Amino acid sequence: MKTTPSAPHRPSRGTLDDFLAPADITPIPALTDDEWNTVRQVAGRELAWRFATLRNLWVHRGRIVPDAFGFAWGGIYRTLLVGSIVATSYRNEGLFRAGERIKGTGDFFRGGFLLPRSSTEFREIVRLVNLRHRVAGVVVPHTDGGYRVIDGYEADYTYVATSFVEAIRRGLEICGLPRNSSRGRALGEEVCTILYQVAGFTGLRRMPRDLAAHERFREAYDRRLRERPASSRVQRMGREIARRIAPVTAVSADETVANHVRRHLDPETAAYLFPELPGAELEVEREEWGRRLRVRSPIEAIRARSIARESLWSRPDVAALHKAYQEATPDLTDDRLIGAILLHAIDAPDDAARPLECRVVELAAGEPLIRQGDMVGEMYVVLSATAPLLVLHRGDAALEPQQVATLAAPTVLGEIGMWRGQPAVATVLSSEANRLEILVIDAGRFELLKQEPGFRAATAAEIQRRLSLNTALTSGRLEDAAARSGDARLASIAQLLRYLTGDSHVPLDAVIGLPDDAAPVECVDALRRQVDEAIAGGGLPPDLVDYLQEVVSTIG
């Protein structure tokens, strides 16, 4: 097995190759439906038998599944020790609707064990999970029509499945099946097959070859976590996420929050995320979630949500968004933004479930849809256009506006301006007569939309696209300048740039004056303010000043 590179300045590639020898890595096998159903049914029966202890039958009033799922949830908590996963969650999700998201995760893993792969319900779950992951920027479309995890994130993504496997094995051991007994290892192999296969449905393409390789990966990854712990800022983020989801997972585990933490989280994870045992306020939240989630059985709830979504997919505005999402060019920001708006339309609470307005706009040649300097007050999803749209920008010193981009439908216009609540920074028009079909997001709907995790992620991606043009050439110089000068502001600017341009592995230990749950635009505002202060303080090389000024001018 390869050892972890010792040079602290050498970045990890973020792949399984950082932790395993080539012989220990294999593509995730393509199982037939019959093979998949056999594995999950055999493993499911065995797991049910092993968790059918006297303790569980007594505590859970004859039911044993809650304890099994409680241990499975321990895997999710383990992943909150991974700085990049926590940072990605905050950049992509903030803390909005954390309980709803964890419920969706529960549907996915519960469905993976209990539903046939070809069932309508499971296919609907996978479709929604992949849409969420794509919007969040965790996966990208693959040439085979599926998805693959983004470069540099494979090992972290694998560790999610690894953590679930180990959490279940820990539960089996507590219930009397030693993990290294012959039956314990055989069942461990089956659990590995299921959970890595489930991860494969959502973008993982490779896995540890067998249980022994899985254990070597776990040991190497855990060693890396202990050698390079997350910064105190990221640790605070992870603990806050844990507190938000604990009442929901405790309901699933049929335990109080405190008992859930004590029994189902491994001791290292529990001490890290809950240095003090959860108090009464989380128990109140658990009781509220219990009233919401115990209306019907988990499988009945999954089926009910699937049926409800089927009618939503056929609603005209949702169907139009879905078509636009499929037509948008992969790896461009617009497909993620459109996907985020689509998710909002599907997941919107009842008070925001009204269809989006569809509007047809006839533009004459040269007539602007958006004019630089005007307050627009709306965001547009351009579904179709009979001609390209031109983006023009006039700088402070320019006499005439300059064309900076050409846009084809489908595309999104006005999201940054709506976030900032400031006049448009560019003019959008057509050089010829143009008929546009657009969906309109007004100010009221935008206020709801910007609370959505996916939309925050996709907006961050648009900021990332604008920043990343020259950041790679300058980020090293910024960090060198910060180290030489000891200027805390420069160190903060360097980390903000790396974070906003998609580096989830940045420690965020030098960022100044920013809440842990800051939205992307709040990060941009902090960046802009700190750049202004750094330039005003003097002492920076002229070309670095020019670059920083260009950065803040390009992000609107």
**494: enclosing H helix or E strand:** helix 488-500
CA distance 28 to 511: 39
CA distance 356 to 442: 9
Side chain identity at residue 64, one-letter code: I
How many separate helices (H) and strands (E) can be counted in the chain?
Answer: 22, 12
Residue 392: Cβ within 10 Å count: 17
Same domain membership, residue 196 and residue 54? yes
Cβ(272)–Cβ(236) under 8 Å?
no
Residue 397: pLDDT band with limits 50, 70, 90: low
Residue 522 lies in a domain: yes
Residue 14 lies in a domain: no
pLDDT (average), residues 468-482: 60
CA distance 541 to 481: 9
State residue 101's pLDDT score.
Answer: 67
> Pick the residue with more confidence: 386 or 451?
386
Mean pLDDT, the chain, whole residue set: 84
Q: Is the peptide bond before 542 cis (omega within 30 degrees of 0)?
A: no
Cβ(160)–Cβ(209) under 8 Å?
no
Give the lowest-confidence range in 196-200, 505-509, 549-553: 549-553
Same domain membership, residue 441 and residue 397? yes
> Pick the residue with more confidence: 27 or 484?
27
Same domain membership, residue 323 and residue 287? no
What domain count does the chain have?
3
Sheet holding 368-370, edge to edge: 368-370, 427-429, 389-393, 402-407
Residue 312 lies in a domain: no
| Confidence check: pLDDT of 411 > 60 | yes
> Pick the residue with more confidence: 208 or 482?
208
Same domain membership, residue 59 and residue 30? yes
> Pick the residue with more confidence: 213 or 498?
213
Sign for the CA dihedral angle at 194, 199, 205, 209 comes to negative
List the structure tokens of 104. 């969706």
Residue 8: pLDDT band with limits 50, 70, 90: very low
State residue 453's pLDDT score.
Answer: 65
State residue 400's pLDDT score.
Answer: 79
Considering 304, 336, 353, which residue would you say is the last residue of a domain? 304
Residue 9: pLDDT band with limits 50, 70, 90: very low
HEC states along 90-133?
HHHHCCCCHHHHHHHHHHHHHHHHHCCCCCHHHHHHHHHHHHHH
| Confidence check: pLDDT of 269 > 80 | yes
Residue 359: Cβ within 10 Å count: 12
Considering 304, 335, 352, which residue would you say is the last residue of a domain? 304
CA distance 325 to 338: 6
Sheet holding 411-413, edge to edge: 357-363, 434-442, 378-385, 411-413
Task: Find where tokens 């078509």 sit.
Answer: 323
How big is the CA angle at 530 (ends 528 and 533), to the nearest 5 degrees? Answer: 110
Considering 276, 304, 332, which residue would you say is the last residue of a domain? 304
Same domain membership, residue 480 and residue 445? no
Same domain membership, residue 92 and residue 204? yes
| Confidence check: pLDDT of 5 > 60 | no
The tally of CA atoms less than 13 A away on the side-chain side of residue 459 is 29
State residue 470's pLDDT score.
Answer: 46
State residue 94's pLDDT score.
Answer: 44
| Confidence check: pLDDT of 436 > 80 | yes
Per residue in 344-387, pLDDT (tens digit) is 888 765 555 688 899 999 999 999 999 988 888 899 999 999 99
Cβ(113)–Cβ(65) under 8 Å?
no
Residue 151 lies in a domain: yes
| Confidence check: pLDDT of 491 > 80 | yes
For 111, residues 6+ apart whose C-beta sits below 8 A from its C-beta are: 121, 122, 125, 302
Q: Which CATH number do you get for residue 353? A: 2.60.120.10
Same domain membership, residue 368 and residue 275? no
For 7, residues 6+ apart whose C-beta sits below 8 A from its C-beta are: none
State residue 110's pLDDT score.
Answer: 76
Same domain membership, residue 397 and residue 284? no
Burial 168-201 (b: 16+ CB within 10 A, else e): bbbbbbebebeeeeeebbebbbbbbbbbbbbbbb
Residue 270: pLDDT band with limits 50, 70, 90: very high
| Confidence check: pLDDT of 65 > 90 | no
What is the percentage of the chain residues whose pLDDT exceeds 70?
86
Cβ(122)–Cβ(111) under 8 Å?
yes
Same domain membership, residue 88 and residue 202? yes
Determine the 3-state secondary structure of 216 from DSSP. Answer: helix
Residue 395: pLDDT band with limits 50, 70, 90: low
State residue 520's pLDDT score.
Answer: 66
CA distance 245 to 231: 21
Residue 16 lies in a domain: no
Cβ(497)–Cβ(551) under 8 Å?
yes
Give the lowest-confidence range in 93-102, 322-331, 477-486: 93-102
199 pairs with which residues across the strands? none
Same domain membership, residue 297 and residue 178? yes
Residue 87: Cβ within 10 Å count: 23
Task: Find where tokens 């890290």 sit.
Answer: 272
To the nearest 5 percent, what fractions of the chain are helix, strand and coil? 60, 10, 30
CA distance 432 to 390: 10
- The torsion angles phi and psi of 393, rounded to 5 degrees, stand at -135, 135
Same domain membership, residue 269 and residue 323? no
Same domain membership, residue 405 and residue 285? no
Residue 19 lies in a domain: no
What is the percentage of the chain residues whose pLDDT exceeds 90?
38
Q: Residue 542's domain spans which residues?
A: 453-554
Residue 434 lies in a domain: yes
pLDDT (average), residues 325-347: 80
Residue 247 lies in a domain: yes
* Residue count (the chain): 556
Top mean-pLDDT range of 255-264, 444-453, 510-519: 255-264
CA distance 511 to 233: 9
